[in-house]
Structure 1
Amino acid sequence: MSYAGPEFDPRPSPPSRRGRRALLAALVVALAAAGVVVQRAVSGDGDGAGSRAASSASPDSSAASGSSPGAPAKSPSVSGTSSPSAASTAKPPARSGPLKGKVVVIDPGHNTGNAAHTTEINRAVRIGNGAKECDTTGTATDAGYAEARFTLDVSRRLRTLLEQQGATVRLTQDGDRPWGPCIDERARIGNEAEADAVVSVHADGSAAGDRGFHVILPGPVTGGGADTRGIVEPSRELGERIAGNFVRATGSAPSDYVGDGTGLVTREDLGGLNLSKVPKVFIECGNMRNSKDAALLTSGAWRQKAAQGISGGIVGFLRG
């Protein structure tokens, strides 16, 4: 598929004096309106995706609200981690916008507290065509920035962007539980919400020489409580839109180690996809073990671009 970005006229005509006055007036009105908007502060499906290596670093939940007591403080080398958001149980305000009436579930991969709850996360759960561990710790950069911190930060940013479009957004976890949830519960949250789209946010832990992002699509899985036949095609459309928008928003290239340069991979071994009844994809935003990717993943400015890319794909999918 093509990842060509939108075309822009590099030489726009300068506005007339009257046009400049009109633009200035419009800007003042927009700024005044923005002054009354209160934005929520923003900054996993536990399936181990890609070549993920479990992190041995201690969980760092300073980027998450409601983190477990005694969690280590945030590393100062990681920029742009937002302040904690409102409790996930709070009743969402009425919203308007092009996505009004649409429900999106965002699944921040893993949990910063998983490493302290190995017994709980190691128990097996059924995923339709087999069994997998309830959740995993996820991976981390060589400097110790945990995947779980990254996924929660991007998910909070993504929530804000989608809510600004009028969507009702739910996170499977918002730093408000000590571990998990398990991969089957993550899928169930999207199903019970009757979500119009679900995206599980991750970062990979592949070999140091591997680079780039990829979107994981569900394959056809039936039996054992799983039946993805009805979501394979819409999930592919969702994944294609996210991949294209992710390239344009972040400038990142599709993975050079899976997906044959398309940025798309189909898998049948992830419980979060196998057990979903609604359109769902995973996105591995980059490889935390690659130094160049890690420099992006640890940048708050880049994580905002990542959220914008994912949001753009979701909006395009939901608006048709």
Structure 2
Amino acid sequence: METKKKSRLIPMCSMFLASSLLMGGMMMGTKRVVIYDEGERHVVYTLSGDPQRAVAAAGIELGADDEITCSGDLSQGFGVVQVERAFPVLITADGRTHMLQTTGGTVQSILADAGITLGEQDLVYPASEEELTQGGDITVRRVEVRNEEVRESIPYTTQTVETDALPYGESRVVQQGQAGEKVTTFRVEYRDGAEYSRTSLGTEIARQPVTEVIETGTGGMVQYNGQNYTYSKVYQMKATAYTTEGKTWKKTASGTIARVGAVAVDKNVIPLGSRLLIRGSDGSWMYGLAVAEDTGGAVKGNKIDLYFNTYRECINFGVRTATVYVLD
């Protein structure tokens, strides 16, 4: 009877031993994985060394753009898995705004993922080396700097030259005026195609203006008291008055007696002895025919001093503008 009991125990022991060995082997192949997802900690045990299977075993669903990173060696039985959740980022560049799903990184890397290349002078906000977190957006400003030339006209001046070769009142252009040109160079910065700043780098004269020269006639004919008088020159002069009333001297610089019709001039302008016809430039008064016989310390340039018999007449005359014809 004992012999039969021993024979039954042997198979049962064999089954228990085999089961124990199998369970021990399974326990020895189990990996402990710690998973962090949005601030929560999960611990799973798995036979697989694949972190994605560990995440699935924890019941964590991954979005299409989510990423996982793993630290530690799962093949050695322990590992830490970090779930990086993707978030939307608005990128404004080249006149449009589009959205990109990203798990983060530097601004430069996110732009690279979006296929956006920065030029050497482009601006980006935030800075390209900054780490972007959820809630942050990116703006790219395209910057172009170039030198531009602005050409401007320089107006010419006009010079008038008197000549007795022309009758009084006539004129002619002897040298045509021509405008010059100046070139100003600007450093112009454009941002997203619009001008942002303009700085002058300097101005150069590309072409000097040419002065226009006009000759005006001082010769011709004038009428007085029904008679025509030819003249060689005509002047616009400042006319004053003087008298010898109450004075001891009565003679002019030419040695003649001071009288009405004997006038004082600058002999460097009108030679002494010249016959003159003098009248108001506005036509309101007429002195008449005269002779340049006298000079005076204050009579210089285009100035003429007219003789009157009395001091009262001089006061009434005052200072006027006269047209003085030098008669032939």
TM range (shorter): under 0.3
TM-score with structure 2 setting the length: 0.14
TM-score with structure 1 setting the length: 0.14
Q: Which structure is higher in strand share?
A: 2
Which has the higher relative contact order, 1 or 2, with Cα contacts under 8 A spaced 6 or more apart? Answer: 1
Larger radius of gyration: 2
